[in-house]
Every structure is written in C-alpha cells, then in structure tokens.
Amino acid sequence: MNDSEKQPRIRWLAQLWADLKASTDPGVLAVARFLGLLYGPIDRKLPIDQAFRKMLRYRLPSYVSWRHAFGGITYLLFVVLVVTGVLLSFYYRPSPQEAYPSIQYIVSEVPLGWLVRDLHVWSANFIVIALLAHMARVFFAAAYKPPRESNWLVGILLLLVVLCFGGTGYLLPWDQWSYWTVTEVLDTISKAPLLGLFADVLRGDVIVSGATLGRFFALHVIVLPWAAFALLIFHFMLVRKHRIAPPPGARLAEDAGIPFFPNHLLRTFIVGVVVLAVTFSAAALFPRPVGDPADPFELPTEIVSSWVVVDVSLGLIRYLGVWGFSLFTLLGFTLILLPLVDRKPEQRLRRRPLAVAIGLLFFGGYLILWLVGHQVTSVQSGAELRSGEAAEQVVPQPAPGERASPQFSSDASAATREEEQN
Amino acid sequence: MTRSMVLLMVAVFLAPAGAELGAQPTPFADALAQQREILIDPEYSCVVCHTEKRRAFLLGTHSERGIRCHDCHGGDPTAFERGPAHSGADYIGTPDKFQTVELCASCHEDPDRMRQYGLHVGQLAEFRTSRHGHLLLEQGDTNAPTCSDCHNSHTILPPNDARSNVYPTNIVMTCARCHEDQALMSRYGLPTDQVREHRASAHGEALFERQNFAAPTCVDCHGSHAALPPQVMQIADVCGQCHVLVRRAFYEGPHGKTALAGTLLGCTSCHSNHGTERVRPEQIGATCTVCHDADSPQAMLGEEIEEGVTRAARELESARAAIDQLARAGHRTGDILFRHETAYTTYRQLAQVQHNLDLVLLEDLTRQVTSISTDIRAADEVAAEHRWEHKLILIPVWFLALSAIVLAWFKLNSLKKGAG
C-alpha cells in the first residue's frame, strides 16, 4: 500500500476521532451530538450550535411578564392537540359505520386511549380560552396597532382556524349529541346571509351524513393542520421581527431586558407544567361521556355539549336566532378590520372608547354566551333542524301532541318494552 | 355517407321500437287501457253526466278489473239522452241496501271470478250470521250497514291499501261512524265509548302510536263480515289467537276452569274488554282482591306473585341502568344488551305465572332474571372501578408537576437575586 492510498484513510480516521471528541464536548447540544442526532458532518457544515447559542443569548424586554403567557399556553395546547390527535388517528375510522365503534374502541380497549381522547377534548376547550385571553390582552394593550397590524390579522386567522378545527372535530365522535349539534349549527349557518352556500358545501348532502363526516375529517386532519402550521410560523416570525409591543411609557432605550435563557424559559416551563397538569386533571376527572350512536331519524332526549364554542353557538342560536348569530360573526369581522381604522399610536383605554366598547362587547358577549349556552340541553324539533329540502325528503311532520312516527324510530320496540315493564 | 347507408342506420335504430310496438300488452297496460277507455270513450254516456262518480270510481280497484257503470246500475250507456239511458229492464239506478248486498254477492260469491284475485267467497254467508246481517236482511232494519257502508260505493279499495276504509288504522273509525252515534246506538242498547277505550288501550296505543299492524282492531276480535260480540266462554279463545302462551297458562290454572264453566268472563275479568287494561306488576295483588277477600289465601298468593314480578322488574331496570352507564363510558354493550334481551324474554314469561299461578315457575323465572341482572351490574361495577383507577394517574402527574414547579421557582428566584 503506497502513501497516496494511506493518506485518505488517516484523514478519515482523524476526522472520526475529532467528531468523537466533539461529541463528548460539554456544549449546548452535547447530548444530541453524543446520541448521534447531530452527526459530525452535519454539525460541522450547519451552524446549528451557533444558532442555538444565539437563541439562548436572546434577551426579552423587561416588561414581558406572566400576562404574556397566554400566547405560549395556546401554542403548548396546540402541540398537545397535534400529538393526541395523531395518536387518535391511529384508531379512528372516519365513516358513519365505523366512527362510533372506533371511539368506543379507543375509550375502552386501547391502553390509555381514554386519556388521549380526553386530553384532546379538554385541550380543545382550553386552547379557545387561552387564545381568547391572548387576543384580549393584545386588543386591550393596543398591540394590534402599526406596525403589528399584519400579525393581528394572522392571529385572527389562527382563531378562525382553531374554531374550524373544533367545529370539524366535533362531528367526528358521530354520536347523537355531536350529530344533532352539528345539524343545528350548520342549519343556522345555511340560513345566515352569505354563509349559506358555505354550509351547504360543508354538509355535502341534504342532511348531515357520511359525506359531511368525510369532509369534516379531511379538513380536520389535512387542510387545517397545514393552514395552522403556516400561520403559526408567520405569526412567530412577525413577533420576532416587531418584538413584543411595549406598554405605554416604556423606556426602550434604557431597558437591558431579561435573558431568554434561563429566566424566561423557566417561567414558560412553570406555566407549561401547570397547564399540562390542569389539562390532565380535567381529562381524568371529567371524561367526556359517549352518547348514543348518531341516528338521523331520531332526535336525542337531550344535548350534552363538550366544547366551549358549541355552548356559545347554542347560546347565540337559541336566544338570539339566526340574526344574532350573523351579527356576532360580523362583530368578529370588525375586530379583523379594526387595525385598518384605528391607526393612532394611542394605547390608553380611556382614549379609545369605541375600540374598548367593541372589545368588551365581543369578549364579554363571548363569556356571557358561553355561560348561557352551557345551560342549553334541550333539542330543537326535527323539522326545525333540517333544511326544507331534507324535511320534504325524510321527516314527516308529526301532529302536535303526537309522537314522531315510529317507523322512523330505530328503537320503537325498546320503548314499547320499557313501557310494558312499567 | 350515401343515402342508402343513412336509411340502413335509421332502420337499425328503429328496429327495437318496432319490436316494442308489436309486443303483447301486459295486464297493467290492460288496466290502463281500460281506464283510458272509460275516460275518453265517446260511446259511453254515463260518464258524460256523472263525472264525480267516474272520478271516484277510477280511484278504486274495480275500475282496474274492467267493471263499468252499467254492470251495477244497469241502463243503456250507449244512449245519450237521460230518459233512454236510465231505462231498460236491468236499470236500477242507485241500489238500496238490499240490492247492494245482492249486487256485490253476484260477483263475490262466485269462486270462479274471485279465484284469480286470491279472494275468498262466503262473505254473504258470513254477513247473514252477523248482527248487522241479521238486522238488515231478516228484520229489514236499514240502519244496519250494507257492503258499501264500510267499503265505500265507488272508491272500493283492498284492505291493504292505506286509503281504504277497512285499512287497519281506518277500520276503527269506520266502525265508529255508527258505533259512536249515541242516538243510533241507544236504539239497540249499545254503549258508544268503545272507540275511545280502544284508542287508550294497549292495543290502540300499539296500533295508532307505534303503527304496529299486528295489534288488533275491531274486526280481529269481533269478525268483519260476521261481526258479533264474543260469547263468555269464547273470550279467552279470542284473546288467545294472539296471546297463545297466556291462553294456555290461563287454562292450566284455576281461573281457566271457571271460565270454561261459564262463570268467569275470562280475560276481560281483569283486563276489561275494549280498554284492555294492563295489570301492572304493582297492581297484581290489588286486582286479586276485586273478587277475593283481602285476607284470603288467594289474595296472599296474588301478593306473592306481585312481589316476585316486581322484584324481577326492578332487577331488569337496574341492569338497564348499568348498561346505560357502560355505554356512556364508551364500552361496547352489544353482548350485554343481548343478555339483557334474554332476561327480558324470561321476564315476559312471568305473564304465564300470573295466569296459571304456578309459584315454582315464578321462582325459577325470577331467579334467571336476577342472575343475568347481577352479572350485568357486576360488569358495570368492574368498569366503574377502572374509571376510578383512571383518576390515580393524577398522583404522579401532580407530584412531578409540583416538584418541577417548585424547583423552577427556586431557580428563578435565585436568578433574580443574582441579577439584583
């Protein structure tokens, strides 16, 4: 073997030795490097270590406090939803025949399936609360004003995505409660100005059916995750670009700030742990019950809601009707347009009476509607719940004081028997 | 493309249509042709004036069978003047009640004509045995109904047609037209509350509310053409047409023998007739004391049966509640529901005990129901225990969470102090 052949091999060995030595270097990414996750050439060619160190050296303004935690909580809950959602999708079957049995299987047969499902359900509730709290903080702190108006718009779009996530996910258990709630909400949307066509396309049939379930599932697990992912990245980039909005009177030039690591990360860690523990507790203590399987021909005796937004929707529909629903949606749209109108740098609440009034109306209204809507357990009659076309095709109108015709009831014999037993 | 080729293609396309034109007409096509003939036949004069009758007749089944106005009413349908049209030896115009019976019987008593439609003959013979037939044909009482009073005169429909007067859900009101008429019924000393009672009864509820066509209407107990109230000794047999096992149990027990002797009104003693009142489990003892003394051995036996049946009912109810809880918790309940069905079937057999008064059978059936119910409740208890164990996961979760929070808090404070 001549020298020219020996040379590359020695160089290769020398490099390997250098990589091995680097892997035991007590650097920021030592563990990843030791485990081989950052292999020598990758580590050498990409400045990951530098980027990581730069991130840790990042300093946040000193006015960043606990009240800024809601955005982080929302993101954490989003991650929980993604993880639990992926786990649920291993077992869930999106068809009218299999959806309900697959939920039963997840809850009663899959190890810790009950926990995964209830974490998903409760995270879906908490994320709405955290997101609205985050939004309210931004709104009342006037953080939506230039130059951050585009990020406000992205935030509103993220709210819309989260609402769509919940709305599409709500039907997936395919039980009586979810089926008839979605029927009622879609029916209301179809009556609302401009939104009607949107509801018909979503329903995909004259009644909520397998076509609707397929559409909702596709939106829930394919379309919306990509939309959320893109919007989140954009949202974070804009936060980094414009930094967190300062409160009135903040002296930015004199502010040395607080280090991201470890101070802010520790605070985030504490908040994250509390949020996770609370979500686990809610999941373990208050599991969502499983209703009867969805039956398009029989109304349930009661509606049990398991999502904040459903409570709000039922509150709007039952107490304010289609126009109340439409006007509240319109109020949400005015929030989107607000930064285009309200461009003065004024942050103090007393100098922004109109904006504060709109904000109070929206956030206060949301809170009141939630509380009111949570009390709704009654079911609208079958005729009211169906579009005209479907009513003509499927459901005969029972005479007042008479029961619905049992030929449309799947459990007429059971009802008979119960009465006979009595 | 040459002209001959175009002609050839046209011929090929038209060939199936030609074959269709040459095909034999179907029976349905016959009926349609017949209707069309009645509608537009310029030679048939009846329909020129009696348009309403024609319309009603076309809705009925007789128009499909080739029967025409003059077959029943006589006259000359080729004459277009009122006088000649309403003349002739066979002209009867509007038949009276007696003529109606004869007219209908002229076809419906002919086996050769009825065979093809699967209709039995003998309605007239049956009608003669009925109270209605007796009044009309023997006493000449024209208040009594004739064929067309129940079946309609022109729109005559088969009993399985939902528009028919004798369809199961319509027959009760057809009978009620006369039997709810107090003025009419008072002449015969008959009550008028039968329909109200039937509607409120188990049978009426099954028929009208649950559309269960197996539930009896007036004609199922009284007969249709041969309508008569059942005799005292026949009641158990009438009810026993449907309640077969109960009938057998009834004749096995002491009450059956009394009924056979003609001293007990059979089923109606406890259940009434048109009201068919249910004797609920908790009413069994009280029902016995209607005839027996409260401190008699028979009343004690009734109490014992009541206790057994109510216990079984409670067991079933608790099993049902357990199944509901399992379902709410997301458990698949197919197998358990099947077991509950088995228990329910056993429970239903207790109805026999109430009629044959067999305490050994009562004990056996009650034990079977209790056994299944206990199993179902045990399954629910196991599931409830698992659900409770789920909460234990919070111990490690909060232990880890609080530990992490405390450590992070200390670290954060030390950092603040260091910075200060």
- pLDDT band with cut points at 50, 70 and 90 for residue A2: low
Are residues A381 and A395 in contact, defined by beta-carbon separation less than 8 angstroms? no
| Chain B residue with Cα closest to A421 | B313
Cβ-Cβ contacts under 8 Å, B315 against chain A: none
- pLDDT band with cut points at 50, 70 and 90 for residue B16: very low
Contact A107 B328 (CB under 8 A): no
Alpha-carbon gap, residue A134 to A42, rounded angstroms: 38
Burial A30-47 (b: 16+ CB within 10 A, else e): eebbeeeebebeebeeee
Cβ-Cβ contacts under 8 Å, B313 against chain A: 421
Q: Is the pLDDT of residue B246 over 60?
A: yes
| Chain B residue with Cα closest to A278 | B398
Q: What is the pLDDT of residue B89?
A: 83
Chain B interface mutation, best of A108, A118, A276, A286, highest count of B Cβ atoms under 10 Å: A108
Q: Is the pLDDT of residue B14 over 50?
A: no
Are residues A137 and A305 in contact, defined by beta-carbon separation less than 8 angstroms? no
Least confident span in A192-196, A223-227, A278-282, B243-247: A192-196
Chain A interface mutation, best of B315, B341, B393, B417, highest count of A Cβ atoms under 10 Å: B393
Cβ-Cβ contacts under 8 Å, B408 against chain A: 266, 269-270, 273
Alpha-carbon gap, residue B271 to B221, rounded angstroms: 15
Contact A104 B332 (CB under 8 A): yes
A247 versus B338: the higher-pLDDT residue is B338
Average pLDDT over residues A358-384: 86
- pLDDT band with cut points at 50, 70 and 90 for residue B278: confident
B37 versus B319: the higher-pLDDT residue is B319
User: CA separation (Å) from A240 to A234, A236, A264, B47?
Assistant: 10, 6, 15, 92
Give the model confidence (pLDDT) of A242-275 as tens digits. Answer: 888 888 777 777 777 888 888 888 999 999 999 9
Tell me the helix, strand and coil percentages in chain B, rounded to 5.
70, 0, 30
Closest by Cβ to B210, choosing from A114, A263, A416? A416
Average pLDDT over residues B126-137: 93
C-alpha Rg value of chain B to the nearest Å: 36
Q: Is the pLDDT of residue A3 over 80?
A: no
- Both tokens of residue B342? 């088995």
Q: What is the pLDDT of residue B420?
A: 61
- pLDDT band with cut points at 50, 70 and 90 for residue B261: confident
- Both tokens of residue B348? 């239903």
Tokens 């009654």 — which residue? A378
Which positions in chain B have a beta carbon within 8 angstroms of at least one beta carbon in chain A? 206, 209-211, 278, 280, 313, 316-317, 320, 327-332, 344, 347, 387, 390-391, 393-394, 397-398, 401, 404-405, 408-409, 411-412, 415-416
Q: What are phi and psi of A258, to 5 degrees?
A: -120, 145
Q: What is the pLDDT of residue A330?
A: 87
Q: What is the pLDDT of residue A4?
A: 57
Positive or negative, the CA dihedral A8, A11, A17, A23 is negative
Average pLDDT, chain A: 84
Cβ-Cβ contacts under 8 Å, B319 against chain A: none
A344 versus B174: the higher-pLDDT residue is B174
Q: Is the pLDDT of residue A66 over 60?
A: yes
Q: What is the pLDDT of residue A349?
A: 78
Average pLDDT over residues A223-251: 89
Q: Is the pLDDT of residue A417 over 70?
A: no
Q: What percent of chain B has pLDDT over 90?
A: 55
Average pLDDT over residues A320-346: 84
Closest by Cβ to A290, choosing from B278, B328, B391? B328
Cβ-Cβ contacts under 8 Å, A418 against chain B: 320
Contact B328 A103 (CB under 8 A): no
- pLDDT band with cut points at 50, 70 and 90 for residue A115: very high
Average pLDDT, chain B: 87
Q: What is the pLDDT of residue A386?
A: 53
Q: What is the pLDDT of residue B398?
A: 97
Q: What is the pLDDT of residue B127?
A: 94
Alpha-carbon gap, residue A227 to A165, rounded angstroms: 11
Q: Is the pLDDT of residue A422 over 70?
A: no
- pLDDT band with cut points at 50, 70 and 90 for residue B264: confident
Alpha helices in A246-404 (DSSP H): 265-285, 308-315, 321-341, 353-373, 388-393
- pLDDT band with cut points at 50, 70 and 90 for residue B317: very high
Closest by Cβ to A290, choosing from B330, B347, B416? B330
Query: What are residue A293's DSSP bridge partners?
Result: A175
Cβ-Cβ contacts under 8 Å, A291 against chain B: 328
Alpha-carbon gap, residue B395 to B402, rounded angstroms: 11
- pLDDT band with cut points at 50, 70 and 90 for residue B37: low
Q: What are phi and psi of A293, to 5 degrees?
A: -60, 145
- pLDDT band with cut points at 50, 70 and 90 for residue A142: confident
Give the model confidence (pLDDT) of A165-179 as tens digits. Answer: 999 999 999 999 999
Helix (H) or strand (E) holding A242: helix A224-242
Contact B409 A263 (CB under 8 A): no
Q: What are phi and psi of A60, to 5 degrees?
A: -95, 155
Q: What is the pLDDT of residue A5?
A: 61
Alpha-carbon gap, residue B362 to B355, rounded angstroms: 11
Q: What are phi and psi of A59, to 5 degrees?
A: -115, 135
Q: Is the pLDDT of residue A394 over 90?
A: no
- pLDDT band with cut points at 50, 70 and 90 for residue A371: very high
Least confident span in A122-126, A199-203, A403-407, B338-342: A403-407
Alpha helices in A68-209 (DSSP H): 69-89, 99-108, 113-140, 149-171, 176-191, 196-203
Please indicate, yes or no, whether the overall pTM of this predicted structure exceeds 0.80.
no
User: CA separation (Å) from A23 to A17, A19, A45, B248?
Assistant: 10, 6, 15, 91
Contact B330 A273 (CB under 8 A): no
Residue A45 one-letter amino acid: K
Average pLDDT over residues A203-214: 93
Average pLDDT over residues A144-162: 91
Cβ-Cβ contacts under 8 Å, A108 against chain B: 329-332
Positive or negative, the CA dihedral A379, A381, A382, A383 is negative
Chain B interface mutation, best of A263, A288, A420, highest count of B Cβ atoms under 10 Å: A420
Of the candidates B117, B171, B116, B168, which has an alpha carbon nearest to the alpha carbon of residue B145?
A: B171
Neighbours of A180 (CB within 10 A): 23
Q: Going by C-beta distance under 8 Å and a sequence separation of 6 or more, which residues neighbour residue A32?
A: A38
Q: Is the pLDDT of residue B165 over 80?
A: yes
Closest by Cβ to A280, choosing from B206, B209, B394? B394
Helix (H) or strand (E) holding B416: helix B394-419
Of the candidates B74, B167, B147, B162, which has an alpha carbon nearest to the alpha carbon of residue B104?
A: B147
Which positions in chain A have a beta carbon within 8 angstroms of at least one beta carbon in chain B? 101, 103-108, 114-115, 262-263, 266-267, 269-270, 273-274, 276-277, 280-281, 284-285, 287, 289-292, 402-403, 405-407, 412, 416-418, 420-422
User: CA separation (Å) from A61 to A253, A383, B241?
Assistant: 10, 58, 90
Q: Is the pLDDT of residue B391 over 90?
A: yes
Q: What is the pLDDT of residue B23?
A: 45
Q: What is the pLDDT of residue B3?
A: 56
- Both tokens of residue B79? 């004459």
SS (H, E, C) B243-287: CHHHHHHHHHCHHHHHHHCCCCCCCHHHHCCCCCCCCCHHHHHHH
C-alpha Rg value of chain A to the nearest Å: 27
Tokens 């579009």 — which residue? A387
| Chain B residue with Cα closest to A287 | B329
Cβ-Cβ contacts under 8 Å, B209 against chain A: 402-403, 406
A335 versus A280: the higher-pLDDT residue is A280
Cβ-Cβ contacts under 8 Å, A412 against chain B: 210
B1 versus B405: the higher-pLDDT residue is B405
| Chain A residue with Cα closest to B312 | A421
Q: What is the pLDDT of residue A274?
A: 96
Q: What is the pLDDT of residue B150?
A: 93
Q: What is the pLDDT of residue B40?
A: 58
Q: What percent of chain A has pLDDT over 90?
A: 47
Cβ-Cβ contacts under 8 Å, B278 against chain A: 420
User: CA separation (Å) from B359 to B302, B354, B366?
Assistant: 10, 9, 10
- Greatest Cα pair distance, chain B, in angstroms, is 129
Contact B278 A407 (CB under 8 A): no
Cβ-Cβ contacts under 8 Å, B276 against chain A: none
Q: Is the ipTM of this complex over 0.85?
A: no
| Three-state SS at B328 | helix
Neighbours of B403 (CB within 10 A): 11
User: Smallest CA–CA separation between B302 and chain A, in Å?
Assistant: 18
Contact A270 B387 (CB under 8 A): no
